[in-house]
Amino acid sequence: MSLIDARNIDFGHGGQTVLHGVSLSLEPREIVTIVGPNGSGKSTLLRVLIGALKPRRGTIIRAAGLRIGYVPQKLHIDPTLPITVRRFLNLPKAVDRAAAEEALEKAGVAGLTERQMASLSGGQFQRVLLARAILGKPDVLMLDEATQGLDQPGSAAFYRQIDAVRRDLGCAVLMVSHELHVVMSASDRVICLNGHICCEGTPEVVSATPAYRELFGTGTGGALALYRHEHDHDHDHTHHHHEAAE
Amino acid sequence: MLDDFLMRAALAGVGTAMAAGLLGCFVVWRRMAYFGDATAHAAVLGVALALLFGTSITLGVGMVALAMALLIHGLSGQRTSVDTMLGVLAHGALALGLVAVTLIPGQRIDLDAYLFGDVLSVTRMDLAVIWGGGAIVVAILWWQWQAMLTATLSPDLAYAADLNPRRAQLILTLLLAAVVAVAIKVVGALLITAMLIIPAASARSYATTPERMALLSMAIGALSAVAGLRLAVLLDVPVGPAIICVAVAVFAVSALGRTLRQLA
């Protein structure tokens, strides 16, 4: 059965409608990417799915006991709040030292335990967020523009890490992104969102749809080429290529 | 031991400072200083109502602080900025309280005692209220610590972990009202926010985790209370303001130390 099944979600505030008639379901082990222009409701949809926002209409059914690992777009820690990486990983549940170190290693930032969160670089910070999310052994990992602020090689490496984590934990991944080429290559399914779902399907299908081309304009030509390139590598070399690159 | 009024004052000061020092960390982390002000200022209105209806001051202050805190909690759920509204409520409640207190027929009350505290007159009963209330505040924060901290760092992380950040906010709101009711006798309505914020801010420079900051803040609060009391007796000045002066001095030293360390 589906991990999450959202039907006909409407969301808005005041007279403004952000999401209209959005239906989405997520199967175990599936990688689904939501793409869309700024203000298309991508982050809102994710926040509706984690329960942070109440939809006006529609139903959300989660599998019983579903564990969600959420990696927010940005996490602002107030400068008055001192917190080490180790302590941060203990939220919301305390974990033992070995588990914490293992999670950091899986996320690609081993050995940061005693550092202050505020002293981390953007990439390290996102990876610590990822480590915290996987500590709860999630059934689904949700990432909201998790590579914002990372440069291209940085975000490519981050997505490879997510792919490795997914294979390791066997969880589903639902992510929101605007970095089409890097993301699409890794996805089983792409959902193109602009307030409503414009189109969805495999990366090949979506990138060929007129609705998608209309939303993302001419820039997609180059992105598409890049996407095909990445796609070949993923399948031919079963990721040795990527792991070696790290 | 409790027969000595100075000893009672010291115990009242330490009890209040520990509860306020712990809760104050959340006030600082969540930027609720104005929230604290509004709740504390409403306490004066609580004094007026308690005198009018002949109930205990603690009860009156507690109820009005609670009503104010719940009102602000409700407002903070809206999408609009509550900053201006907090200002209106804080000073409106203070002004209304000041007017109401002087209008109570048949009593000339010592307003200063409620504005700046009157710790030298605490009774055994007051002590029981202060330590009992303080213990409840500390116990609830201890019990809810992980959830509170997660919600403070990010409401979305809390939601994703099936925790309710609005509930955490509500608990803090209630505890704030409790601390106001407990602290009014010690530092008075005008300086309660100082008791919440200054020890926590001083502790920040020397803490690496939230827990260490909380313990340090409680210790600094307790130290300020004892030292402030001695200073007040020595110089014959009001105790509440003296306690805050010591806390500010600790903060200055801590801030200076931090700057020097950064330069070194």
Whether residue A207 is predicted with pLDDT greater than 80 in this model: the reply is: no
pLDDT at B163: 92
The residue assigned the tokens 């260490």 is: B212
Write out the two tokens for A209.
Answer: 């749809």
Say if the Cβ atoms of B209 and A87 lie within 8 Å: yes
Residues of A in contact with B158 (CB under 8 A): 92
More confident call, B3 vs B193: B193
Asked whether residue B36 is domain-assigned, the answer is yes
Backbone angles phi, psi at A70, to 5 degrees: -110, 125
What residues 50-109 of chain B have any CB closer than 8 A to a CB of chain A? 79
Whether residue A234 is predicted with pLDDT greater than 60 in this model: the reply is: no
Whether residue B30 is predicted with pLDDT greater than 80 in this model: the reply is: yes
Q: Say how far apart CA B2 and CA A227 lie, in whole Å.
A: 78
Q: Say how far apart CA B257 and CA B264 lie, in whole Å.
A: 10
Torsion of Cα atoms, B167 then B168 then B172 then B174, to 10°:
20
Q: Say how far apart CA B172 and CA B183 lie, in whole Å.
A: 16
List, in sequence order, every residue forming a beta bridge with A173; answer none if it has no partner: A31, A141
Write out the two tokens for A126.
Answer: 């996102």
Whether residue A104 is predicted with pLDDT greater than 90 in this model: the reply is: yes
Measured in whole angstroms, how far is the alpha carbon of residue A196 from the centre of its chain? 19
What residue of A is the nearest CA neighbor of B209? Answer: A83
Asked whether residue B130 is domain-assigned, the answer is yes
Whether residue B1 is predicted with pLDDT greater than 70 in this model: the reply is: no
pLDDT at B79: 57
Number of domains in chain B: 1
Whether residue A142 is predicted with pLDDT greater than 90 in this model: the reply is: yes
Residues of B in contact with A65 (CB under 8 A): none
Whether residue A235 is predicted with pLDDT greater than 90 in this model: the reply is: no
Say if the Cβ atoms of B150 and A51 lie within 8 Å: no
Residues of B in contact with A68 (CB under 8 A): 160-161
pLDDT at A182: 66
CATH number for the domain spanning B116: value is 1.10.3470.10
The 10 Å Cβ neighbour count of residue A218 is 7
Q: In sequence order, which residues have a C-beta less than 8 Å from that of residue A8 and are 6 or more positions away?
A: A21, A22, A23, A57, A58, A59
Q: Say how far apart CA B69 and CA A133 lie, in whole Å.
A: 34
Q: Is A80 on the interface with B (CB under 8 A)?
A: yes
Q: Could you give the residue ranges of the DSSP H alpha helices within B144-191? A: 145-153, 155-160, 165-187
Backbone angles phi, psi at A165, to 5 degrees: -60, -40
Asked whether residue B160 is domain-assigned, the answer is yes
Average pLDDT on A38-53 reads 91
pLDDT tens-digit series, residues B166-215: 999 999 999 999 999 889 989 999 999 999 999 999 999 899 999 999 99
Asked whether residue B202 is domain-assigned, the answer is no
Burial of B76 per CB tally in 10 Å (0-12, 13-18, 19+): middle
Asked whether residue B65 is domain-assigned, the answer is yes
At B218, the pLDDT band (50, 70, 90 cuts) reads very high
- Which three-class secondary structure string do you get for chain A? CCCEEEEEEEEEECCEEEEEEEEEEECCCCEEEEECCCCCCHHHHHHHHHCCCCCCEEEEEECCCCCEEEECCCCCCCCCCCCEHHHHHCCCCCCCHHHHHHHHHHCCCCCCCCCEHHHCCHHHHHHHHHHHHHHCCCCEEEEECCCCCCCHHHHHHHHHHHHHHHHHHCCEEEEEECCHHHHHHHCCEEEEEECEEEEEECHHHHHHCHHHHHHHHHHHHHHHHHHHHHHHHHHHCCCHHHHHHC
pLDDT at B167: 92
Q: How many CB pairs under 8 A join A and B?
A: 75
Q: Say how far apart CA A101 and CA B240 lie, in whole Å.
A: 48
Using alpha carbons, select from B121, B116, B122, B126 the residue that is nearest to residue B59.
B126
Q: Is B160 on the interface with A (CB under 8 A)?
A: yes
Write out the two tokens for B244.
Answer: 């805050």
Q: Say how far apart CA B129 and CA B78 lie, in whole Å.
A: 35
Of A10-24, B9-23, B97-111, B114-128, give the range with the top mean pLDDT: B9-23
Q: Is B208 on the interface with A (CB under 8 A)?
A: yes
Residue B175 CA: distances (Å) to CA of B67, B110, B136: 12, 27, 9
What residues 85-114 of chain A have any CB closer than 8 A to a CB of chain B? 87-88, 90-94
Q: Is A116 on the interface with B (CB under 8 A)?
A: yes
Using alpha carbons, select from A48, A43, A72 the residue that is nearest to residue A60.
A48
Asked whether residue B14 is domain-assigned, the answer is yes
Average pLDDT value for chain B: 90
More confident call, B22 vs A209: B22
Are A135 and A154 in contact by the 8 Å Cβ rule? The answer is: no
End-to-end CA distance of chain A: 36
Residue B127 structural domain: 5-190
Whether residue A107 is predicted with pLDDT greater than 70 in this model: the reply is: yes
Whether residue A211 is predicted with pLDDT greater than 60 in this model: the reply is: yes
| pLDDT over 70, % of chain B | 97
Say if the Cβ atoms of A83 and B29 lie within 8 Å: no
Buried b (16+ CB within 10 A) or exposed e, B138-149: bebbeebeebbb
pLDDT at B18: 95
pLDDT at A151: 79
Whether residue B87 is predicted with pLDDT greater than 70 in this model: the reply is: yes
Say if the Cβ atoms of B156 and A116 lie within 8 Å: no
Average pLDDT on B123-140 reads 94
What residue of B is the nearest CA neighbor of A86? Answer: B209
pLDDT at B80: 60
Whether residue A47 is predicted with pLDDT greater than 90 in this model: the reply is: yes
Whether residue B81 is predicted with pLDDT greater than 70 in this model: the reply is: no
Alpha-carbon torsion (B179, B181, B183, B184), positive or negative: positive
What residue of B is the nearest CA neighbor of A69? Answer: B160
pLDDT at A225: 37
Q: Is B29 on the interface with A (CB under 8 A)?
A: yes
Buried b (16+ CB within 10 A) or exposed e, A24-50: bebeebbbbbbbbeeebbbbbbbbbbb
pLDDT at A40: 87
The residue assigned the tokens 């505020």 is: A118
Average pLDDT on B61-65 reads 91
Asked whether residue B205 is domain-assigned, the answer is no
Whether residue A84 is predicted with pLDDT greater than 70 in this model: the reply is: yes
Average pLDDT on A37-47 reads 89
pLDDT tens-digit series, residues A110-121: 989 999 999 998
Best A80, A128, A130 member to test B by mutation, with max B CBs in 10 Å, is A80
pLDDT at A38: 82
Say if the Cβ atoms of B209 and A51 lie within 8 Å: no
pLDDT at A232: 38
Asked whether residue B136 is domain-assigned, the answer is yes
Residues of A in contact with B203 (CB under 8 A): none
Q: Say how far apart CA B248 and CA B264 lie, in whole Å.
A: 24
Residue A14 C-alpha, separation from nearest chain B C-alpha, in angstroms = 10
Residues of A in contact with B156 (CB under 8 A): 47, 50, 52, 70, 72
pLDDT at B58: 86
Whether residue B136 is predicted with pLDDT greater than 90 in this model: the reply is: yes
Using alpha carbons, select from B150, B175, B153, B174 the residue that is nearest to residue B163.
B150
Q: Say how far apart CA B194 and CA B55 lie, in whole Å.
A: 27
Say if the Cβ atoms of A51 and B147 lie within 8 Å: no
Q: Which of B152, B156, B213 sits opposite A72 (nearest CB)?
A: B156
Work out whether strand A31-35 and strand A172-177 pair parallel, antiparallel, or are unpaired.
parallel
Q: Say how far apart CA A218 and CA B196 lie, in whole Å.
A: 57
Average pLDDT on B26-53 reads 89
Whether residue A156 is predicted with pLDDT greater than 90 in this model: the reply is: no
Q: Is A118 on the interface with B (CB under 8 A)?
A: no
Q: Is A66 on the interface with B (CB under 8 A)?
A: no
Q: Which of A69, A70, A83 sits opposite B156 (nearest CB)?
A: A70
At B78, the pLDDT band (50, 70, 90 cuts) reads low
